[in-house]
Amino acid sequence: MCGRDYITVRALEDFFMYHNVPLESLHLSNKSCRAQREVIHGVPYYMSRITKEKYLACGGKQLEKNFTHISYSLSLLSDPQVTGNIIRNPVIKIDYKCIYPYIRRVSLPFPVIPFSSEAVIRVDELDATIELMLYTDQSYSKAYSSSPTIELRDKVYVEVTVTEPADFFLVRINECWATQSSQPRTAEGLVHTLLMNGCVNDQTVVFLNGSTGQPGRNGDSSTVRYSFDMFRFTSTPHDLYLHCTVQLCEPDDHVSCTPNCKSIAKREAVRADPALGLLSYGPIRIEMPDGAQSSVLMTVVLPVAAVWTVGFFLIILITMAKAGSRRLAQTEEH
C-alpha cells in the first residue's frame, strides 16, 4: 500500500505459518525495522509499515527517478531457522515497490512582464521547460508581446504547455487563481479562483481544443488551453496576476492526469497541494473602453451643464422682466 506518508506491506499470517516463519524473524533490510501482527476484520496479518522519512534508515534501496516518477523499493526478509548446522525451512523475501508521481515546484520570484512565465526543471539528465502564455484570440496564433491590456468581459486566452521535451508527457493544470499581488500565496489583497483541482471554479472558464475553439479537456496532452471572461477586483489595484499549478504525467498515465470533477469532497481534499509546480504571469491590465468615459460625460457632465444653462437664462428673463416693470411704472407717472 503506497500512501502519501507511509509505505506498507502485509500478508496473511497463514502464509508465514505454512512456511514456519515466526513473526519475530521478520524485518526489513535493517533488522531494527521489525514486522508487526495486525488483525483486520478478524483476519490476522503480518505487516511492515514505515514512513518515507525512515525509508533509507530501514534499508530502502537507492531511489529510482525518471522524468515523471520516483520509485521506493524495499524487501521484507525472514531470518533463517537454523537447526544444528542445517536449515530446513525456506527463507522468505518479499520485494515490493511504491511508485509516486515526481511532482516538482516551479516558481518565479517576480512577475514576467510581459509575454510568458517560463521555468526549467532538471531531473537527472533531462530538462523540462514549462511555459504559461496569454494569446490575443482563440486561434492561439499570436501571443501578447507586451503586458496585456484587456477590456472587462473580453475573453482571456490562456495556454500552459511543455515546450521541451515536446510531446513527452501529459500536463494537467490543477489550480489557477488571480491575485492583486505578484506573490501567489500572499494573504494581502483579493483572490479569485478560476480552476480548482483541475475543475472549473469560474462559470466563464472553458477548456479549448487546439486552435479550433471547440471544447477541450484538461490533462490529455502536453498543452492545456482555456479561456475566461476578463474581470477586475472591487478594490484597487485593479491589475491582475495569474498563477497556475501544474502536474506532469507519463503519456499513458491518463488516470492521474484526468481531473475528477464530479466528487466535491475529492476536489477539496487535494486543494492547494504545496508540491505542485507553480507558474505566475502578470500584470494583466484593465482597459477602460471609450463607452465608459462617454457614459460618464452623459450622466454627469451634460446634466450639470444643462442645469447651469437653464439657470443662466432664468436670471436673464427675471432681470429683463424687472427692467420692463420699472419702465412701465415710469410711463404711467408721466
**Cell, residue 326:** 420699472
d(CA 234, CA 124): 46
Provide the residue type at 31 as one letter: K
How many other C-beta atoms are found inside a 10 Å radius of the C-beta of residue 4? Answer: 6
* Pair 136, 142: CB distance under 8 Å: yes
Q: Tell me 24's DSSP state.
A: G
pLDDT attached to residue 272: 38
Q: Tell me 301's DSSP state.
A: I
| Mean pLDDT of all residues in 310-317 | 68
- Integer angstrom CA distances of residue 314 from 264, 305, 324: 68, 14, 15
Q: Is the pLDDT of residue 311 over 60?
A: yes
d(CA 10, CA 8): 7
**Cell, residue 211:** 486552435
How many other C-beta atoms are found inside a 10 Å radius of the C-beta of residue 48? Answer: 22
Whether CATH 1.20.1260.60 fits 6-101: no
d(CA 114, CA 124): 31
| Mean pLDDT of all residues in 283-306 | 58
Can you name the residues that pair with 156 across neighbouring β-strands? 228
Q: What is the pLDDT of residues 194-250, one digit of tens each?
A: 999 999 999 999 999 866 667 888 988 889 999 999 999 988 888 899 999 888 777
* Pair 156, 206: CB distance under 8 Å: no
**Cell, residue 304:** 450639470
**Cell, residue 330:** 415710469
Q: Is the alpha carbon torsion for 63, 69, 75, 76 positive or negative?
A: positive
- Which of 178, 191, 165 shows the shortest CA–CA distance to 134? 178
Domain with CATH 2.60.40.3210 in the chain: 6-101
Least confident residue range of 33-47, 131-145, 243-257 = 243-257
**Cell, residue 142:** 499570436
Residue appearing with cell numbers 534501496:
61
pLDDT attached to residue 87: 78
d(CA 121, CA 129): 7
* Pair 81, 90: CB distance under 8 Å: no
d(CA 297, CA 304): 10
End-to-end CA distance of the chain: 121
- 55 or 312: which leads in pLDDT: 55
d(CA 3, CA 100): 9
Domain with CATH 2.60.40.4100 in the chain: 117-260+271-287
d(CA 160, CA 166): 13
* Pair 134, 284: CB distance under 8 Å: yes
Helices (H), the chain: 13-18, 254-257, 264-269, 290-296, 302-333
Highest average pLDDT, of 96-100, 271-275, 284-288, comes from 96-100
Q: What is the pLDDT of residues 21-40, one digit of tens each?
A: 899 999 999 999 999 999 99
Helix (H) or strand (E) holding 240, with range, is strand 240-249
* Pair 78, 91: CB distance under 8 Å: yes
pLDDT attached to residue 134: 92
The answer, as to whether pTM is greater than 0.75, is no
* Pair 121, 30: CB distance under 8 Å: no
Output the CATH code of domain 117-260+271-287.
2.60.40.4100
